[in-house]
Amino acid sequence: MKSKTGKNTRETLTLKYGWKFRLADAPEMALPDFDDSGWETVRVPHDWAIEGPFSRENDIHVTAIIQDGQRKSLYHTGRTGGLPHAGKAWYRLKFSLPKDICSKRVRIEFDGIMSHSRVYCNGKYVDTWPYGYASFAFDLTDFIKQGDNILAVSVDNKPLASRWYPGAGIYRKVRLVIMNPVHVSLWGTCVTTKPLNEKTAQVDIKTTVENHTGKRQKVTVETTVIGPVGKKHASSSETRTILKSGVILQKIRINSPVLWSVDSPKLHTVLTTLKTGGKKTDYHETLFGIRYLKFDAGQGLLLNGEKMRFKGVCMHHDLGPLGTAVNAEALKRQLSMLKDMGCNAIRTSHNPPAPELLDLADNMGFLVIDEAFDEWRMPKCKNGYNILFDGWAKKDLLAMIRRDRNHPSVIMWSIGNEVPEQDVSSGAKTAAFLHNICKKEDPSRPTTAAFNSPDNAIKNGLAEIVDIPGWNYTPNSYAAYKAKLPGKPMYGSETGSCISTRGVYYFPAEEERNPKRKTLQVSSYDLACASWANLPDTDFRSIDENPFIMGEFTWTGFDYLGEPTPYYEEWPSRSSYFGIIDLAGIPKDRFYLYRSRWTEKETLHILPHWTWPGREGELTPVHCYSRWDTVELFVNGVSQGVRSKHHKNMVNRYRLVWSGVIYRPGELKAIAYDNDGHPVKETAVRTSGKPAGIQLTADRKEIRADGDGMAFFNVDIIDSKGTLCPGADNLVRFKINGPAEIAGLDNGNPASTEPFHADYRKAFNGSCVLYLRSLKGKKGRILVTAESAGLKKAEAVLSAR
């Protein structure tokens, strides 16, 4: 990597290609003349563990998960995904700097390294940052030289450190920033907004300036605010004499501001220019949004004066077959699906997210609860955050706030999730310590925490300390908590924990808690949940009946690697069953339940599928998730009766149920009626024949040729009439001709140990998904071919530009 420094302002170089990697550990690997020619060459972001292989021996935990209600230790397998993430490794990168580098400042920025990283430059130790989810930066000025330089990073992913798959290595972006001696600090622009009256907003801009010249400098900070459509609103100029560092506050008024909201996520830009001696020394852009938040104990959440409720999901940070290596296109695909479902909020469970997620939330219209920790001092895992808390909690919390405070999507700082300190009297002191850090650094946002032991959190004072307590899995107690904390806004910080496997149905269809079967699957009738949890219907009812509750964050939006509840001890169960959308990115039936609840879209979805050889003449219950209250069901044209939602009856309150349907091959059809009895929409599923071909459906026709552009192909096994074969498990092989590569494959089966990075994948219940990635700088036609023995092959064409 070569750099050419700019004349007057900073240069930012993303360090993506050319990294050398080895899963090993020796101190000489930091030395500049170490021979790494035999090492693997990788691109960053990089997750070393996602290629596997899967093994039950990779992450055996003998423990009792107190948060899951366990009282005796179990022999857990698959808890962190069954992937080889624990271990020590090194990354090395050669980069070249120009002759005038001696007059510059050089900073290295890491969005996240998993974990316990140590950074070296030209053989010299620079610094360390152990928390794998934190973003951080180090000054390399005293370590670099003109010409070739060697950056070396050691990683130590400890065993027994996580309750889910954490990923491994430099899994988020890395940047080299070259600046003049006088520049804006890392995360040095802080923007806050407030209304002055109905038509005017005040924008406060706090700029932290560093001066590394060794002598006092008169520094002028010129600031301009640009509106969403490029309109220049106002400017301000302030001059200050600075020796080493200084903070300059500017106040700008904006008339008739365009407000940011989830339905209209309009962003403004702050343009910051530094000048010394009349010459420009730095230029920096900061995006922000103008929005007014009010959290009221009675009314709940008001955004720009309008009451709204969280229709939220909790999200872990892995991207299924891509692992934890961040990719903006894959994140955008996830958020687009959630948006279609009606989701308007995300809780980053249980750690600071990748910056790309917040950028997308700003642009797509999501509210975000930014969560810092899953542990404080009291451990959940032997080598979890508890071993870092005393030395690093303040640093990590400040890093999260300073990095994320300008995002309008971020509305609360969560200081912890289900921490054991809820249950001890000393827990309030720790909660106050973290709360006070947040309020001092950013008084504009409330603090929160997710409590799964609410009675103790109230008794021991933790719920009183945070501005807004969140309740996990206690929907029937909201009124009681309100009576104990009458002045507090509150919400369901973790709800549901319904479990299911896409396309799998077991009979009879009945409510189940922690069901276990030899198949290692869970029924998709959406009637099963974890032992501590409840069905979505219960949360819907509790929110309806308690208008002060600000909404919910259901567990979870997508399946994720690790935590394969209820199959704690069974292998090869290696990923969760909690998702509304499976690990491959295919919606489960439950997607349409939430969609019918959270949107006004014309949702009409029936389950199960209608291909049941051998069940002819047997009872096969049918459920329907409908936007409308009244639906009639037909089997082969014969009415099975009309069902209407009854808001006093849980059975048909949010879903419609026909329990006495007899299976007969053919067509299962539902017709929805409006309040006047007129048919408004119909949907049908049909009995499929034998598998005959493959259907490839791409989500786009064109990808960016930058090495990060991605396309996603739904791959379906179909019969001769084009009907999905819901039980098909055919092995599909893929060929790519053109400037692209397979980035990953998955089928949503939480018990599959097929490698994510192969060129083949079995269909699971008729489907799988291909993740296709462009090659850097290579443009042209891409032909994707999918083949399976005995089936008609499928082809699809797209282009890289």
What would the DSSP string read from start to end of 263-274? SS---EEEEEEE
The residues, ordered by sequence, that sit 6+ positions from 45 with a Cβ below 8 Å of its Cβ are 170, 171, 172, 173, 324, 325, 326, 327
205: part of which helix (H) or strand (E)?
Answer: strand 200-211
Instruction: Name the phi and psi angles at 14, rounded to 5.
Output: -80, 125
Rounded distance, CA 445 to CA 296, Å? 13
> Which whole-number Å values give the CA distances from 161 to 93, 187, 340, 371, 383, in the listed order?
28, 29, 35, 18, 4
Rounded distance, CA 609 to CA 745, Å? 24
Decide if 144 contacts 122 (C-beta within 8 A).
yes
| Burial label, 202 (beta-carbon count in 10 A; 0-12, 13-18, 19+) | middle
The SS3 assignment for 329 reads helix
Report residue 164 as tokens.
């889910």
Tokens 């290692």: give the residue: 520
Tokens 């909404």: give the residue: 551
Determine what percent of the chain falls in helix, strand and coil, rounding each to the nearest 5. 15, 40, 45
358: part of which helix (H) or strand (E)?
Answer: helix 355-364
What would the DSSP string read from start to end of 145-159? -SEEEEEEEEEEE-S
Decide if 217 contacts 209 (C-beta within 8 A).
no
Kindly name the residue from 210, 494, 563, 632 that is annotated as catalytic.
Answer: 494
Amino acid at the residue 760 = Y
Rg, C-alpha atoms of the chain = 27
| Cα-based angle 552, 404, 144 (whole degrees, multiple of 5) | 145
Decide if 204 contacts 193 (C-beta within 8 A).
yes
Report residue 196 as tokens.
């002055």
Centre a 10 Å sphere on the Cβ of residue 243 and count the other Cβ atoms it contains: 11
Report residue 558 as tokens.
């997508």
The residues, ordered by sequence, that sit 6+ positions from 418 with a Cβ below 8 Å of its Cβ are 67, 374, 450, 451, 452, 453, 472
What would the DSSP string read from start to end of 478-507? HHHHHHHSTT--EEEEEEE-B---TT---S
Rounded distance, CA 405 to CA 440, Å? 13
The SS3 assignment for 352 reads coil
Annotation marks residue 28 as catalytic? no
Annotation marks residue 418 as catalytic? yes
C-alpha 512: how far from chain center: 28
Kindly name the residue from 210, 371, 375, 418 that is annotated as catalytic.
Answer: 418
The candidate with the shortest Cα–Cα distance to 169, out of 284, 51, 269, is: 51
C-alpha 268: how far from chain center: 24
624: part of which helix (H) or strand (E)?
Answer: strand 622-626
Report residue 207 as tokens.
């700029």
The residues, ordered by sequence, that sit 6+ positions from 306 with a Cβ below 8 Å of its Cβ are none
- Helices 328-341 and 590-598 cross at an angle (nearest 10°) of 60
List the catalytic residues: 418, 494
